[in-house]
Amino acid sequence: MRAPTSVRRTQNGNTPRRPPPFRWRLVVMAKLPVAGRVKTRLARQIGTGNALRVYRAMTRTALTRVGGQPFWTTYLAITPDAGVTTRMLPRQCQRVPQGGGDLGARMHRPMRRLPPGPVCIIGTDIPGIRIADIRTAFQKLGRHDAVFGPAEDGGFWLVGMRRRPRVIFPYAGVRWSRDDTLAAVEANLSGVSIDRTARLADVDDVAGLLRAQGTIGRLISSR
């Protein structure tokens, strides 16, 4: 006779789902919200104070939306590094410093340092971001080595890496804030399995602000 198997059950008597072998991890890249340090391109067009209010509203909303989700662990990566202790940003996420270097180096750092498992990185300037879009990106990493969320300006609002069997650096020679930025990153991943998730608009200038005007207006009015 086969020995009985001990099975732990939840309070309602159901057998709990087996956790995934690798935990999903979401990194939100953010700057310390200080006037003159954030959304500088937008600030030249609408003023420093207005740009700061837009940035704070988008950051607060993004962290509220993605933080505390049961699907992944959320980290807030802050620059400059001293900002990890600031009270100007919500505290619902674990904080880590971005470290030095250009944007590519700072995005690659959590890919190298976080525990095993898929990692997706996003910014805070995508008012239309949805939980479903991020979940889809993680799911695609079950079949692909990398995933991107393309932005309407030619860049990307999300980058995700499976990180198995190795961590790939895709940013060599990439010039940022151009209409071919995503194309240049993907060109560095020749021979690597890539997929894309939803195309969304970011807010870097007045054109982006106008595209998201309704959403931004609601964010600012809810302060």
| Phi, psi for residue 171 in degrees, rounded to 5 | -110, 10
Find the domain containing 170 and state its range: 25-221
128 is a domain residue: yes
- How many domains does the structure of the chain reveal? 1
11 is a domain residue: no
Give the model confidence (pLDDT) of 106-121 as tens digits. Answer: 999 999 999 999 999 9
Evaluate if residue 217 carries a pLDDT over 80: no
56 is a domain residue: yes
Measured between alpha carbons, how far is 92 from 65 in angstroms, rounded to an integer? 11
The model scores a pTM over 0.75:
yes
Evaluate if residue 20 carries a pLDDT over 80: no
Give the model confidence (pLDDT) of 197-215 as tens digits. Answer: 999 989 988 888 887 766 5
